[in-house]
Amino acid sequence: MFVILLRFSGEKDRAAELMGGHNAWLARGFADGVFLLAGSLQPKLGGAILAHATTLPELQARVSEDPFVAERIVEAEILSITPGKADERLAFLLGGGAAAGIASR
C-alpha cells in the first residue's frame, strides 16, 4: 500500500490550467482499481492519494504521468506502507503490501 504526497511547488499558480488533465489522471487511477482515496492537503498545500494493488515501479510510472508532476506543479513523494493492523472495514489491505520504506520521485 502506498501514500502519494503531491506538494505544490513554485508553479502552483499554473494548477488551474492543468486541473482537467490531473482529474482525468485521477479518474484512471480509480478506474484501474489502484487509487482508493484522494484529497487535498490543507491548507492548500497539494494533495494526497492512497493507492494499492500495484508495485512501486508501476506506481512511480503512473505518478510520472500526472500532468501536475510532469509540469512540476507538484513534487511527488511516494511512501510505501506494509499494513500490520486495520479496522475490519479495511481488512482487504492486509492481504499483502509493498516493502516498507520511502521512495520519492
Q: Provide the CATH number for the domain around residue 26.
A: 3.30.70.1060
pTM over 0.75: yes
Over residues 53-61, the mean pLDDT reads 97
14: domain range?
2-104
Give the pLDDT of residue 92. 87
Number of structural domains the chain divides into: 1
Sheet holding 46-51, edge to edge: 35-41, 46-51, 2-8, 74-80, 101-104
Could you identify the residue written with the cell 480509480?
Answer: 30
pLDDT of residue 15: 96
Q: What is the pLDDT confidence band of residue 96, given thresholds at 50, 70 and 90?
A: low
In sequence order, which residues have a C-beta less than 8 Å from that of residue 95 and are 6 or more positions away?
none
Report the distance separating Cα 79 and Cα 56, nearest Å: 9
